[in-house]
Amino acid sequence: MGRCGLCAAMDSGTAWPLSIGHFLSPVVALTRSWLPDPEPKALLWPTVDILVPTYNEDLSILRRTLTGCILQDYPPDRLHIYVCDDGARPAVEHLAEVMGVRYLSRKTRTDAKAGNLNAALAQTTSEFVVIFDADMVPKPKAVKTLVKPVLQNTPCAFSQAPQAFFNHDPFQHNLGLYEALPNEQDFFMRSLQAARAQVNALLFVGSNAAFRRQALEAIGGFPTGTITEDAATSVLLESQGWRGCFVPQVVAQGLAAESYQEFLHQRARWCRGNIQVFKQWNPLTLPGLSLMQRMIYLSGTLYWYFGMQKMIYLLAPLLYLDFDVRSLVAPTLWIVGLWLPAFLSQWMTFRRITRGSRTLWWSHVYEVVQAPVMAAAAFCETVGCKTQTFRVTEKNLTSDRPQVAWQSMAVFVVILAMTALGAIRRWHQMQMGAGPVGFLVLAAFWALYNAAAILTGVAVSVDWPRWRRTERFRVNYTTYGVYRHRVVPVRVVDLSEGGCAVTVSGDSSWSVNDSFQIFLNGVDVTGHIVQRADNQGDSVLLHVRWEALDDLAYQAVFRLTYAQTTGFSLQSDPKITSVFHGLRHRWHGTTRRPRYQQQSGQSPSMFG
């Protein structure tokens, strides 16, 4: 078996179940088309409690989520909104009072988010419970969209919509790819969840979900004892014969992890939490699950061992190039003959399943970038190392200079150095006529393929500045404004909680720092000009920063941004076509603070 036979055995022992984990869920069934049912009459809508759990999120994040809850298109006498504050913050209690929503807290903060939700369940009574994370901003019809399938299907315990995001994740942002690269979670949240629902193995993902209170009470509330209560909730409900309904519509958008370190921390928590759920409620022995459900949940748990598998893939060719340790002892043509058909079939299957939303190469990159941290997390949780405590992923980060995740980058640099040294060593040996050429070429190709993904990981580990505290959205809204006591026509081209950009006629002497009132949905919103740029022709582009927004003004801005959009926030980027193009634009385009911020000299967090 060779000196590295153990590595080969470990790899072969994990490869087939991980392959099942990648492909079993979507192969189970093609997603059925989803058509909205007619809306029930107003009197038939059930009572609903919206629970918004929070711990230490910024008040600005919480305000927009609660605004989305307040503006729901749902009978107001049947809707109750609760902010469930596990931080017991007076500022949150005051915000709830000002916004007219109910404030809940508890004296003991045990069992993290699950304990917080259970405490809220004990103090509420509505027939349905809808959950939005503190950063998940619901669309106006979110509650109706989530409640409807559960209401119309008696065996249905919960509905789950995809988690979607209006900001860019670390891969999109740090590589400068933006919309050219889908969000890293989209494949699971949309394609895999839809397929899992066909065999009633839908996962509750912690937010954007509606539950029958009766079903939650049947399992004793949200399960505790793990750091991911969501996966446990769905498997326990489904084991008792309840069903989960997948809602493919985007009903809410939130904030993806914005820094590479926070991304890794979040994924390590998910990894350990899912393994904890498997230990406590083993789907292979849990009564009430079908064979297919057991297979799906098993594959979902095994997936989280991808870090260990990827580390073997990364190190195996380097062991040969640097230390003459062969992971496989077989003729080179045999190895290629076994590997190439498997790779091609995997590539074609993946392409068919994802329908172009993700490539096999990007999946390799995602897993390689996470591999060192995820391998350690999976190993520690499996052997029973100290349990990781629950920590909320930090959101709404701003920075004015690049920040490097040195620990993660060090691992990648070591692997790249081993690759380079091994290549130099083997090149020298080839010049001397020593060593088998066939396996050397195979190992070199393998190492270079991995090196390309690792170089991408090095680039991702540099967090580039995020200048804006609030997300800015493209709009095309024609209205009017008041400038120096004159009413002028205005076209709003982008908009945020912090300000907007408008085009106006060039016949007025627009001056920086002058006050400018703009009417949005009939509400007078006051700001002042921070930058002027002459456009082609007679129009002028103005950047306006809002003064403090009262509730009416805030809701007017909200209705034109978060309530409508389902895409990403605005980035001043050209059409990005490749990683190289994205990184080049990233280096030349975002290392400098926007011009009007440079002129003011203020902190980037002051700008929208």
Q: Kindly report, residue by residue over 541-587, the tens digit of the pLDDT.
A: 999 999 989 999 999 999 999 998 665 554 444 455 556 565 566 65
What integer is the mean pLDDT of 157-162? 97
Q: Is the pLDDT of residue 102 over 90?
A: yes
Q: Is the pLDDT of residue 535 over 80?
A: no
Sign of torsion over alpha carbons 563, 567, 568, 574: negative
Q: Kindly report, residue by residue over 59-75, the tens digit of the pLDDT.
A: 999 999 999 999 999 99
The DSSP secondary-structure symbol of 359 reads: -
The radius of gyration of the chain from alpha carbons, rounded to an integer in Å, stands at 27
The matching CATH number, chosen from 3.80.10.10, 3.40.50.2000, 2.40.10.220, 3.40.50.920, for 473-606 is: 2.40.10.220
Buried b (16+ CB within 10 A) or exposed e, 42-58: eeebbebbbbbbbbebe
| Distance between CA atoms of residues 221 and 224, nearest Å | 9
Q: For position 24, what pLDDT does the model report? A: 53
Q: Kindly report, residue by residue over 347-381, the tens digit of the pLDDT.
A: 888 888 887 778 888 999 999 999 999 999 999 99
Q: Is the pLDDT of residue 251 over 60?
A: yes
Q: How confident is the model at residue 272 (pLDDT cuts 50, 70, 90)?
A: very high
Top-confidence residue, 571 or 286: 286
| Distance between CA atoms of residues 118 and 220, nearest Å | 9
Q: Is the pLDDT of residue 22 over 70?
A: no
Q: For position 384, what pLDDT does the model report? A: 85
Q: For position 349, what pLDDT does the model report? A: 85
Q: For position 426, what pLDDT does the model report? A: 83
Q: Is the pLDDT of residue 506 over 80?
A: no
Q: Kindly report, residue by residue over 467-478, the tens digit of the pLDDT.
A: 767 788 888 999
Tell me which of 65-79, 269-283, 510-524, 574-588 is least confident. 574-588
What integer is the mean pLDDT of 239-245? 96
Top-confidence residue, 14 or 453: 453
Over 250-319, what HEC string results?
Answer: CCEEECCCCCHHHHHHHHHHHHHHHHHHHHHCCCCCCCCCCHHHHHHHHHHHHHCCHHHHHHHHHHHHHH
Report percent pLDDT > 90 for the chain. Answer: 58
Q: How confident is the model at residue 326 (pLDDT cuts 50, 70, 90)?
A: confident
| Distance between CA atoms of residues 246 and 193, nearest Å | 7
What integer is the mean pLDDT of 424-441? 77
H/E stretch holding 533 reads strand 523-534
| Distance between CA atoms of residues 350 and 191, nearest Å | 12
Nearest to 546 by CA among 560, 564, 530: 530
Q: How confident is the model at residue 435 (pLDDT cuts 50, 70, 90)?
A: low
Q: For position 603, what pLDDT does the model report? A: 37
Q: CB neighbours of 25 closer than 8 A, spacing ≥ 6?
A: 192, 195, 196, 201, 296, 299, 300
Instruction: Enumerate the domain spans of the chain.
Output: 473-606
What integer is the mean pLDDT of 411-439? 84
| Distance between CA atoms of residues 318 and 107, nearest Å | 54
Q: Is the pLDDT of residue 306 over 50?
A: yes
What integer is the mean pLDDT of 587-608? 45
